[in-house]
Amino acid sequence: MNKIAFQGQAGAYSEQALRQHFGEKAEAVGFRRLAAVFGAVESGHVAQAIVPVENSSAGSIFETYDLLSEHKLTIVGEAYLGIKHCLLALAGATRGQLKKVYSHPQALQQCQGYLDKLGVETEPFFDTAGAAAWVAEKQDPALAAIAGKWAAKTYGLAVMAENIQTYAHNTTRFLILSKSPVKTPKGDCKTSILFEARHVPAALYKCLGGFATNGINLTKLESRPSQAGIGRYRFHLDCEGHVDEPALDQALRELQFYTTSLRVLGSYSQAKIPE
């Protein structure tokens, strides 16, 4: 089975990342909600999924982190995609006619500087490509969407403005998810871990100490509410190295002593960040 799930519909950035990572032969299966993507992998409806987890401008995608803790899936890879947002509208429409712009909340946030100058109303949509499809369906020159050139081509819209993101180096990191681990990755690796620290003084400091003493470089640390009560958090940690390497194995042994729960989400090959 070569079905790969993504959140959104045809023309979405997630589909573009999917094609970049898996190639054109993969069967892309889009879902409206991110939770449905996780469910499709867990049920075996698809072989794997690709989901966004963080953006260089807008930060972490909290829903992805929460779903990682709720579902028993394995991270088997990562991918990066340079995001170049465009303002899409009907052919012949002018900026003076625009009154409302639709897009995913993350895309709207990433283009806030441009939107402030444009001076129009914005409305969140479940997906960038879905917003483009909506504008194409409404056939109203007062409406526009923020999405990529791929979405413009898919839905027959005109590109009114290019590269409207606030920061030029706008990159999204994606995770590749599977029900089970894949073969041992080659080259430089990264490992993702989920843990909850014990409720004692300096617990987080002690949790991270083993990584420092064993020479393990941390690349990301994110906290999310554990739903166990106020002040209780889960921590998502990314670090360099493979779980089978002695140094990381020792760091995890030390981490376990200061946690109430610990789960390795996966070890996988590091992807190259686009320049």
- Active-site annotation, residues: 172, 174
The residue written with tokens 């009114």 in the block is 160
Rounded Cα distance between 66 and 208, Å, is: 21
Per the CB < 8 A criterion, the answer to whether 176 and 268 are in contact is yes
Task: Give the alpha-carbon dihedral of 243, 237, 107, 116, to 10 degrees.
Answer: -150
Q: Of the candidates 127, 173, 133, which has an alpha carbon nearest to the alpha carbon of residue 157?
A: 133
Per the CB < 8 A criterion, the answer to whether 129 and 11 are in contact is yes
Q: Of the candidates 78, 71, 38, 76, which has an alpha carbon nearest to the alpha carbon of residue 194?
A: 71
